[in-house]
Structure 1
Amino acid sequence: MKTLKMLLAIALIAVVCTANAATKGDDKKDVEQAVEKLRQGMLNGDRATLESVAAEELSYGHSNGRVEDKKEFVEAFVSGTSDFKTIELTDQTVTVSGNTAWVRHKLYGETNDKGVPGTAKISILTVWVKQKGTWKLFARQAVKIQ
């Protein structure tokens, strides 16, 4: 009887560990999909996409030191103040811890901010929070790279 209880306890622990690992893997994929949704929203200047991916509490930091809230972030892309023609993300890592995730990557892009062509080479840290089952961009900070 002790052996059976011990085997059942070990099996239960294995099931819980496997379920937790699967959930973390699913969360990581969901965060990666949210990052891609953000990238597409930025490229297209799509208000609905940008509003849906951003948390109400968003703090969006640019490489020049400017910080925007959600409303300012969305309006900059919709109006063309921030206008990406291309965005390539490289060296991306995603870490999930509970209902929080952080993503680091490098962004290389062509811009046309306010009609002025340019390029962006920045390293970015984003923080995501899971709200009502959906990953939302909570904070972002970028720094220029060479």
Structure 2
Amino acid sequence: MIKKLIFAMSFLMALSVSGQKKNDKDIVTNAAEKLRLAMISGDKSALETLIVPELTYGHSGGHIDDATEFVDKLVSKKSDFVTIDITNQNISIVGNTAIVRHHFYATTADLGKAPGDVTLDILLVWIKVKNDWKLLARQAVKSEKKK
């Protein structure tokens, strides 16, 4: 009888953990979408609510922004994303960390310049802070073609 009770409790706990991971994946998916929209709009408060102060934001050309630089470039339109399309997104949850990989295709108009195209593969690292997921790190690498 005790073995059956222990088995039943273990099964319920496993279902609960599995359900939480699915819920976390949904929340991270939503956070990544909010980040995409905030990067297009350049909305300072939206950007700041999605990141931690320790953010490290790596560009495909090798430059690394901190949280302040990341926000300032988007707000000032020094980095101006007209469109951002994300495909092939994959999310893995490990404890309180989410690893997100996706393909990133964007049209840019940095500081009002003629539109440009950016094709990248992105790695995002999100951490759970209380009940919210916040961006801790981002690294981009150049990609050959739109996937």
Query: What is the TM-score when the length of structure 1 is the normalising length?
Result: 0.96
Percent of aligned pairs with the same amino acid:
45
1:59-117 residue CA offsets vs partner (Å, 9 max, x unmatched) = 00011111101111000000001101110000100000110011000001100011122
Cα separation, 1, equivalents of 2:101 and 2:6: 39
Equivalence map 1:1-146=2 (5 Å): 4-116=1-113, 117-146=115-144
After TM superposition, where is structure 1 displaced by more than 3 Å over at least 4 residues in a row? none
Structure 2: 5+ residue stretches without partners? none
The superposition leaves residues 104-141 of structure 1 with CA deviations (integer Å, 9 ceiling, x where unpaired) of 00001100011122011000001000012110000000
In structure 1, C-alpha distance between the alignment counterparts of 2:88 and 2:130, rounded to whole Å: 29
The amino acid that maps onto 1:94 is: I
Give the secondary-structure state (helix, strand or coil) at the position aligned to 1:101: strand
Aligned-residue offset at 1:45: 0.4
TM score, norm. by length of structure 2: 0.95
CA distance in 2, matches of 1:55, 1:38: 13
* 3-state SS of paired residue (1:12): helix
Note the alpha carbon deviations across 1:43-68, whole angstroms, 9 max, x for none: 10000110000111000001111110
How many residues are treated as equivalent by the alignment?
A: 143
> What SS does the aligned partner of 1:114 have?
helix
SS of structure 1 residue aligned to 2:109:
strand
Structure 1: which 5+ runs fail to align? Answer: none
Structure whose alpha-carbon radius of gyration is higher: 1
Give me the whole-angstrom Cα distance separating, in 2, the residues matched to 1:81 and 1:73.
10
